Structure formats: C-alpha cells, structure tokens
Amino acid sequence: MTTTPNKLTIIQPDDWHLHLRDGTTLSTVLPFTAAHYGRAIVMPNLTPPVTTTAEAIAYRERIIAAVPVDSDFEPLMTCYLTDHTDPNEVEKGFLEGVFTAVKLYPARATTNSDFGVTAWDNIRDVLARMEKIGMPLLVHGEEADPDIDIFDREGAFIDRVLSDWMTHDYPELKIVLEHITTKDGADFVREAGSNIGATVTPHHLVINRNDILTGGIRPHLYCLPIAKRETHRQALRQAVASGDPSFFLGTDSAPHSIGAKETDCGCAGIFNVPNAIEVYARVFEEMDALEHFEAFASFNGPNFYGLDANTGTLTLERVQQTIIGDIEIPGANDSIRPFLSGESLNWSVVGL
C-alpha cells in the first residue's frame, strides 16, 4: 500500500460475498463490481438456485458475457446447499475448478432461501466431504425459527449451530460466517481457529437499527441479517480496524428494484457496490486504521481461500463525491437505488 495525505493505492480488492441476480439485472449491476474488484464470490440463490456443476458453469458463462470488454473480472461460483445435495456433485464441482465454495442458507432465513436446509442432519455427509477436500462452507448465520426475535437470530445460530455442533463435529471445516452483524459474531470469529473467517459489509459498518426505523421506515436500508444496535456496529468497526486477518471484505451487495423494495412486503437487500470501497475507506479512516485497510480489502480473503492476491492496483483520492442516484433497469420500467444515494463521500476511486 502506498499513501500520501490525499491519495491511497492498494492492491486491487476482491468481493467475497456478492449477489448479481440474472438477466437484465445482472447486466445492469455487474459493471459496477467489475470496475473495482478483480474477483467476487457469486451467490447461488437464483430462482431456481444453482445446485449442480452444470448450472454453475451456465451461470458463470452468463456472467462472463456481461463483463465489460476492458475488464478482467473473474466470477467465483458457489453451490447452493439443500437437504438433498449430493456430496459427489459438490466434490466434482470443486475438483473441476467450478465451485469455489458451498453456500448454506437455513430455509426461509432470507431472500430466495426457500430451497435451503430444513434439518441439520440432512447435510452431515456433505459437510464431512467438504472437510475432507478442504472446501469452504459459506454460512448465512441466522436461525430461521420464527419464534426467535429477528434481532437475536445471529446469536442463536452461533450458539445452537456453530458452537454447539458444527465446529465440534467438523473441526477442520473451513467456514466463513458471512455478513456478521453482532459483537457475538465478531467475538466468535476472533476466538476461533484459522479455519474460521468472516465477511463484513459496508452497510453494517455504517448503519444501525435506528437508521432503519427512526422517523419512519426506510426500506432501502432493510437487509438480512438486519442491522443491530449501535453497540454491535461499534464491535464490527473495532473488529475490522484491529487488523485481525480473519475478517475480510464482502459487500453482500444485493440489488432489488425500487418497486420490490417500496411495497407492502419489501425485499431484504442493499445494493452498495457502486461506492462500497469508498465507504470502507471512510470507515477505516474514521477508525484511524488505514494501515489495515489494504489487508482487509485485498489480502485476507485470498489468504483464507488459498488464492494469490491480485497483481493490479486500485487508487482512491481524497476527493468529495456524491453517490449516484437511481440506476435504470433496461426494459423493466423500474430502477435500483444504491446505498446512501445522494449522500457525500470523502474518497473517490480514480483508477485501477
């Protein structure tokens, strides 16, 4: 990393948790990721989900077809874990270099998770095979039991699943606790072994639950896991600012049309990727931890996945910018609203 008072150059970052959707939404949002990131872990929760090697190959081809011609962006594909996932199919996709990881959604925990896991015993054979071949498990870490308060679901998952049996029964399994939102999550990862990591989103470093609900409901700040109390936000900021290599960049950028967000039952998800890297930089600067920014954005993720870091660079300059407004979805008569649209940032990307 090279720095001057007004400029910051880092190795090109990767996004270790990204939703691209499909069709016109895919082609609309992908250029924003390709403009900043070398690679991204692409979530498989399409409808229907990506559950086989062949489906992942086909989806990867659609993504590559939408990559701008001047970009070397590489999508890293994942397998959607269901009650009926075949360990042999998972291993085949991994050994062939198609699947980078498997994604665990507890059934009905979040957007497009209806095909997710309904009973933990159904996935034990898959977890055992993944532990054996060194394949990472990416976890949406929330208990989906409707009797559990929505603000307590991450803590319940850590207690009932990760701590109670998963890390005990599969001690060598590589696990990423994605988009952590609580002090509980940060503490669990910090105290675990090197085979446990976590992604942290820009929005969970910036907003708390008051931002969603005070003065009226703000649907464009609604995501799952939902933002928590201010004490949890501060714990996340301390975690990323600490330099601990267990934490790495994952935007969980999740585009939904404005019509799908501003409705009686709005979708969970925040589209943050147009300015995510600048938001992260602002947070690290506010925490007086810019010396740890490059590792969080560019090294910790590749190290966890056993990959080389990118060779190119990305440069940010201390230039104020206004976050762009609504992005039209061609042919849909609707748009996508970016995170913090219309607000100002004190950093801008000036080049790769």
Assigned token pair, 338: 């970016």
Q: Write the CA distances from 208 to 145, 230, 275, 276, 303, integer angstroms.
A: 23, 6, 19, 17, 30
Q: Tally Cβ neighbours within 10 Å of residue 235.
A: 19
Which of 211, 252, 288, 334 is catalytic? The answer is 252
3-state helix, strand and coil shares in percent for the chain, rounded to the nearest 5: 40, 20, 45
Give just the sign of the alpha carbon dihedral 326, 331, 333, 336: negative
> Which residue type occupies 312?
G
> Nearest-CA neighbor of 219 among 253, 256, 252, 250?
256
Cβ burial of 102 (10 Å; 0-12, 13-18, 19+) is buried
DSSP H helices, 96-208, are 124-133, 153-157, 167-169, 183-191, 202-206
Number of H helices, E strands in the chain: 14, 16
Could you confirm whether 252 is annotated as catalytic? yes
75 neighbors 60 (Cβ within 8 angstroms): yes
Q: Tally Cβ neighbours within 10 Å of residue 71.
A: 15
Dist CA 37 CA 20 (whole Å): 14
| Residues carrying an active site annotation | 252
